[in-house]
Chains A and B, each alone.
Chain A
Amino acid sequence: MDVTPQTHPEHGLRLPIIGFVLSILLTVAALWVTYHSHLNSAGIVTAILCLAVVQIAVQLFLFMHVLESDDVPWHVLLLGLGLILVVAIVAGSIWIMTFHTEAY
């Protein structure tokens, strides 16, 4: 069995460190937007949801090596399907139940 260290150049510590700094900065930015910015509430919600999406991208690409595979990364397709289901469940529930709240 081949026992020489098998590391790619991109697996250096540079990416995790960049990811860590970014993740802390994004959290601080979300806290600042929520408690110190002068945006209205819709603006705050949009801004911090966008920051959360960037934060997820940092985790997926810099920490989880999401595109890493010996062949076609099939799990990425599966993650795409999962994302569609998640959006359908969350957005669908909010959309349906908004009418329920208004009927109160």
Chain B
Amino acid sequence: MATLEHSLPQGEAKVRQLPMEYSSDEGRLRIFGFWTFLVTDMILFSCLFATYAVLDKHIALGPRPSAIFDVTGFSVETMILLTSSFTSAVATFAMRRREKSTLVVWMIITMLLGAAFIGLEASEFLKDVHAGATMEASAFLSAFFTLVGTHGLHVSFGIIWMTCVVIQILQRGITPITSRKVFITGLYWHFLDVVWVFLFTVVYLIGGMY
């Protein structure tokens, strides 16, 4: 902590206006580093999207996309994830106002919405598999399960990660270090929402037209 205080910029009005998570060089560097990770993760998803876009009509003897996509199901999943992105933004807002209990409550709401999303996705996958639409049935289904499943794994990891951050907030309060962690998990969560918007559009809406 002493080193953090030491590295606080002195007398720079522009820097002082910035929120707490930017108050140390390390905090700023880690936030930049996390943006770098998001860009690489974006490239990972783009490869899976490219595979899906190329293979979405290669159904072999398996079902067509429109035969297995449930419009109500994926619309509800989308609404839940968009809402959780909003609650995550509210959590960041509460953090910047130093409202610890409000922050924790909104983070828990975000995680519960994330868990509801994962639950719906898992039941969708199970229903597909029981109907014979397994990963090995066609190139389309391989691409579909890999792309949507990779996103689902990211969301699951996000819930575990956020749980750890909530525990740290409860133990240590809102400090430059925990506020940076809240901000970064928030960025991660919004990023997963961005990826899902493209999944919703490309996989479910455009893919479902066939």
Contact surface of A with B, Cβ cutoff 8 Å: 1-2, 5-8, 11-13, 16-17, 19-20, 23-24, 27, 30-31, 34-35, 41, 44-45, 48-49, 51-52, 55-56, 59-60, 62-64, 68-70, 74-75, 78-79, 81-82, 85-86, 89-90, 92-94, 97, 101
Please report which residues of chain B, range 1-23, place their CB below 8 angstroms from some CB of chain A when the two chains form the complex: 5, 8-9, 14-20, 22-23
With both beta carbons as reference points, the residue of chain A lying nearest to B193 in the complex is identified as A59
B57 neighbours in A (Cβ, 8 Å): 101
Alpha-carbon gap, A34 to B69, bound state (A): 14
Chief secondary structure at chain A's binding surface: helix
A30–B201 contact, CB under 8 A? yes
Alpha-carbon gap, A1 to B177, bound state (A): 13
Chief secondary structure at chain B's binding surface: helix
B49–A90 contact, CB under 8 A? yes
Q: Nearest-CB distance from B21 to chain A (Å)? A: 10
Q: Nearest-CB distance from B146 to chain A (Å)? A: 15
Q: Most chain-B Cβ atoms within 10 A of its Cβ — which of A8, A16, A56, A62?
A: A16
B28 neighbours in A (Cβ, 8 Å): 69-70
B53–A59 contact, CB under 8 A? no
| Interface residue stretch chosen among B77-85, B113-121, B128-136, B154-162 | B77-85
Number of interface residues of B (CB under 8 A): 59
A85 neighbours in B (Cβ, 8 Å): 43, 46
Alpha-carbon gap, A48 to B42, bound state (A): 20
Alpha-carbon gap, A24 to B201, bound state (A): 14
With both beta carbons as reference points, the residue of chain B lying nearest to A88 in the complex is identified as B46
